[in-house]
Amino acid sequence: MKDRLEEIFERENLRTPSMFRRIMAYAIDDLLISLLMVVILWDRIEAHASDPEAMIGIINAALLEIVAIRFFYQWIFVTFYGATLGKMLFKMRVVSIDTLDNPALIPSAIRSAIRAAGEILFYIPLAVAFMDSFKQALHDKVAKTVVVSLA
């Protein structure tokens, strides 16, 4: 697979974005999801603002909602736009290795599911990107996608 990626990157004159840009895009996406969750949970948060234990309980009770929103956010944006809002801001795009276009519905869903699971697993699957020459995280490897720089 590495040889194939090298050939594709050379032929198409593609570059991987820096890890700094990937992390910043991730932080933007995480911030957007967090803000959305605050809006969704606002009534419960406001009612228990002075009780830290209740706040932890609210967040724990909403864990499934948070994971679902993260999954759908990634899935919809990557499938239809090739990037999340954070990636768009930092001029990156997720492409299928086979087509060099937006990932299809199923590979994008697989990528999103593994990414959401990775967040629950202390981001360990994301750490794979730091050791990969094409900066592919586990979700990219399984879904046969790669993040490319547009700038």
**C-alpha closest to that of 77 among 52, 111, 123, 50:** 111
CB 74 within 8 A of CB 116: yes
Q: Is the pTM of this model over 0.85?
A: yes
CB 103 within 8 A of CB 95: yes
Instruction: Report pLDDT for 122.
Output: 83
- 15 φψ region: left (φ > 0), alpha (ψ -120 to 50), beta (else): beta
Report mean pLDDT in 10-residue bins for the chain, 151 residues.
Answer: 93 97 96 96 93 93 94 98 98 98 98 92 89 96 98 91
**C-alpha closest to that of 78 among 145, 14, 124, 33:** 145
**C-alpha closest to that of 107 among 147, 139, 72:** 139
Place of tokens 């032929």: 11
Instruction: Report pLDDT for 13.
Output: 97
CB 114 within 8 A of CB 143: yes
CB-count burial class (<10 Å; 0-12, 13-18, 19+) for 136: buried
Say which residues have a Cβ less than 8 Å from residue 17's Cβ, sequence separation at least 6. Answer: 90, 91, 92, 135, 147, 148, 149
